[in-house]
Amino acid sequence: MERTLISAIRGNAQERPDTIALRQKRYGIWEPTTWSEFYENIRAFALGMVEMGLKPDEKVLIIGDNCINWVIAEFGIIGAHGVCTGAYQDMLNKEVAYLTSASEAVFVGAGDQEQVDKFIDIWDRISPQVRGIFVWDTRGMSDYMDRYPFLVTFDDISALGREAHERDKTLFERIYVETADPEAAIIMLPTSGTTGFPKLSMMTHTNFLSVGDAWEEVHPSQSDDEAYSFLPIPWIGEQFNIMRFVIAGFRYSFPESSDPLAVRRDMNQLQSTFLGMSARMWEDICSNIMARMEDAPYLKKKAYDMAMSLGLEKSERMLEGKTDRLSFFKELLYRFLFFTTIRGVRQRMGLARVRVALTGGAAMGRGVFTFFTALGINLIQGFGMTECSGFCTVHHANDIRPETVGKPLPGVEVRIDDGGMIWTHGKNNMKAYFKNPEETADTLVDGWLKTGDAGYWDKAGHLVVLDRQKDLMFLNDGARFAPQDLENRLKFSPFIRDAVVIGDKRDYIVTLISIDMENVGNWSRNRSIAYTTFTDLARNPKIYELIRLEVEKVNKRLPEKMRLVRFALLPKELHPDDEELTRTRKVKRRVINTRYGELIEALFSDLTSYHLKLEIKYMDGRLSKLESDVRLEELRAR
């Protein structure tokens, strides 16, 4: 029998049947699921889906909050030789309809009533293709089963599977586990979709097993490691965590709900040892800590500032390859302040037990790295994409360089062509894009995957990623700059949520900024600055002065040609529903340049303000208008 993800789960169930594999928070209590229970539930759901009519290679789409039932359903579909696809839980109806159609799903799974309602709303469009909907949280749906004959519960499917198993105890292992093809597509993951609707990357058992094994060589897991599931499951970052959990056999826990307060509360309670998050999420934690300490009592703030000053000195020494030990007195003082101040900060943010802290998905500024290193957390960065199973390079524990994304994983090759494009080769590369031969041929060439990113090797053999090659910009004088680098520097500020830098084929660089409503709001309330809405806050002159100081801090560390010359504060947050961001919160530059085109042109003129008109789209499909006078702030000497 060849090794697959399902055989790995069965192996864990045989070797450690009573060891806790998963935990789900319900009504304030962490409910455990052992490895043997996990495997039995997967087997039941797989056989139940077969009883429902699922055939090998048929597709099933799932949408819902992170929970154990999603993971059981995913592996159950894989176990039945089907192919699973995930949709982000905040997708609009039209996006769900697109993914359902594009994936050719014959069954769809929904987490709760909200997600079921999306499918019911688009049922006329998908019913020729979709045979049924299953749901696991049926609260508020007492009459749905009678009204909609195509609806079935998760538990009913599992019950069908248990009956099938009782009739033939060896059916699942004999027909499905032992005959599984490691090279068969098992999951189709949506790409980020920065240029339009996402493509579907077809991933195999071998893809995930190879990247998981390679990761374990570089950063071995421990038997008592604990991972926390709160990233969107359709994102490759969370799928990477799920597959590592299966391969390494550590614990994997789920929050009580997707409500941000519940996610943060459960994260603080759990204190996981492995924490993999997007760069944006690490930046948010950094901003949150800085904003909280800005308003802390005087003595507490002084102790924190002193601890961080010493910690930053240690982190800079470590990141430069030197010993991180300070002079005797400074080292003693730092250790004292760490236990009296920093340890409490980490505890309150759910970072007290973190052993491996990982970021990926987008570049991260040096300031965020040094910040977490000062907290005693050695943040490591990797580089990859959906199409290479998440990662092809990563920092090693004793070789962290903030400006780089580390070295290639074992068994993975990385090269840079004459045009500066990064290519990668290995068993972790996807099988193909689903039903998209043109894009597949352009992306996969002789087994090499074109990443679309520009980069180079540093002297230590680390990969440095500049930006998406198509996003690199040139000023009119020929000076090249990476907008993502400037944007990351701006977002290090706790008061800046998003920034979009513009300057290609221009004489200078400008930026559109979206403020962080929570942190700027707290700052304003503590200074008795009244406001009503996001728009009201964003056009307040005092907020402009606050953001101006933050931008000037960035400019001081930049060469003169790279400095930001003008900026404007947007009257709304950038949002995926308005197609300004992807569901993984990456900026869609093409949309921004079109949607805010006239405002951008105004920034390159002598105007001091611009009357902006926007159409806003709500999650339920409603549209409204937003009009606001936007101040165009000059950063050159007044």
Helix (H, G, I), strand (E, B) or coil at 588: coil
Strand partners, 396: 399
Query: CA angle at residue 550 from 548 to 554, to 5 degrees?
Result: 110
What pLDDT does 617 receive? Answer: 79
3-state secondary structure 449-514: EEEEEEEEECCCCCEEEEEEHHHCEECCCCCEECHHHHHHHHHCCCCEEEEEEECCCCCCEEEEEE
Cα gap 461→406, rounded to integer Å: 8
Domain with CATH 3.30.300.30 in the chain: 472-634
Percent of the chain past pLDDT 90, that is, above it, reads 69
Contacts of 490 (CB under 8 A, 6+ apart): 496, 499, 501, 511, 513, 550, 551, 554
Q: Which fold has domain 472-634?
A: GMP Synthetase; Chain A, domain 3 (3.30.300)
By the 10 Å C-beta count (0-12 exposed, 13-18 middle, 19+ buried), 611 is classed as exposed
Identify the burial level of 551 via C-beta atoms within 10 angstroms of its C-beta, where 0-12 means exposed, 13-18 middle and 19 or more buried.
buried
Average pLDDT over residues 93-107: 94
The 10s digit of each residue's pLDDT in 335-363 is 898 888 999 989 989 999 999 999 876 66
Task: Give the pLDDT confidence score for residue 362 in this predicted structure.
Answer: 67
First to last CA, the chain: 74
CA-nearest of 589, 541, 605 to 569 is: 541
* Higher local confidence (pLDDT), 262 or 195: 262
Instruction: Please report, as a single letter, which amino acid is at residue 424.
Output: T
List pLDDT tens digits, range 213-224. 999 999 999 888
Q: How is residue 392 written in tokens?
A: 């092809």
The answer on pLDDT for 295 being more than 80 is no
Check residue 619 and give its pLDDT. 66
Average pLDDT, the chain: 91
Q: What is the pLDDT of residue 509?
A: 96
| Model pLDDT, residue 128 | 94
Q: Is the pLDDT of residue 411 over 60?
A: yes
Crossing angle for the helix pair 205-218 and 236-248, nearest 10 degrees? 70
pLDDT tens digits, residue range 456-512? 998 889 998 888 888 889 999 999 898 988 998 898 888 999 999 999 999 999 999
Strand partners, 623: 617
CA distance 509 to 563: 7
| Domain boundaries 275-469, corresponding CATH code | 3.40.50.12780
Coil, helix or strand at residue 113: helix
Structure tokens at 351: 């970072």
Where, residue-wise, is CATH 3.40.50.980 in the chain? 5-180
pLDDT at 638 over 60: no
Of the listed ranges 143-152, 325-334, 343-352, 499-508, the least confidently predicted one is: 325-334
The per-residue pLDDT for 361 is 67
- pLDDT (0 to 100) of residue 329: 86
pLDDT(196) > 70: no
**How would CATH label the architecture of 5-180?**
3-Layer(aba) Sandwich (3.40)
The residues near 632 (Cβ < 8 Å, ≥ 6 apart) are 566, 567, 568, 602, 603, 607, 608, 609, 610
In this predicted structure, what is the pLDDT of residue 158? Answer: 97
DSSP-assigned letters across all residues of 267-335 = HHHH--SEEEEEHHHHHHHHHHHHHHHHTS-HHHHHHHHHHHHHHHHHHHHHHTTS-----HHHHHHHH
- pLDDT, position 238: 93
Residue 445 host element (H or E): strand 444-445
Residue closest to 93 by CA, chosen among 69, 58, 123: 123
Both tokens assigned to 571: 């009257």
Q: Cα dihedral angle (446, 447, 453, 456), rounded to 10 degrees?
A: -90
Give pLDDT tens digits for 200-247. 999 999 999 999 999 999 999 988 899 999 899 999 999 999 999 999
Residue 325 reports pLDDT greater than 80: no
In the chain, list all ranges with CATH 3.40.50.12780. Answer: 275-469
Q: How far apart are CA 123 and CA 587, in angstroms?
A: 31
Q: Which long-range contacts (CB under 8 A, 24 or more apart) does 91-96 make?
A: 91/63, 91/118, 91/583, 92/577, 92/617, 92/619, 92/621, 93/118, 93/121, 93/122, 93/621, 94/122, 95/197, 96/63, 96/122
Give the residue among 482, 567, 571, 590 at the shortest CA–CA distance from 533: 571
For the segment 518-532, what is each residue's pLDDT rounded down to a tens digit?
A: 889 989 988 999 999
Mean pLDDT across the stretch 291-311? Answer: 86
pLDDT value of residue 211:
95
State mean pLDDT over 98-122. Answer: 96
Burial of 496 (0-12, 13-18, 19+ CB in 10 A): buried
Query: Would the pLDDT of 195 be above 60?
Result: no
Give Cβ neighbours of residue 310 (< 8 Å, ≥ 6 apart): 326, 330, 333, 334, 337, 374
What are the pLDDT digits (tens) for 584-636?
Answer: 778 899 999 999 999 999 999 999 999 999 988 776 667 889 999 999 999 97
Q: How confident is the model at residue 193 (pLDDT cuts 50, 70, 90)?
A: low
Q: What are phi and psi of 313, to 5 degrees?
A: -65, -40
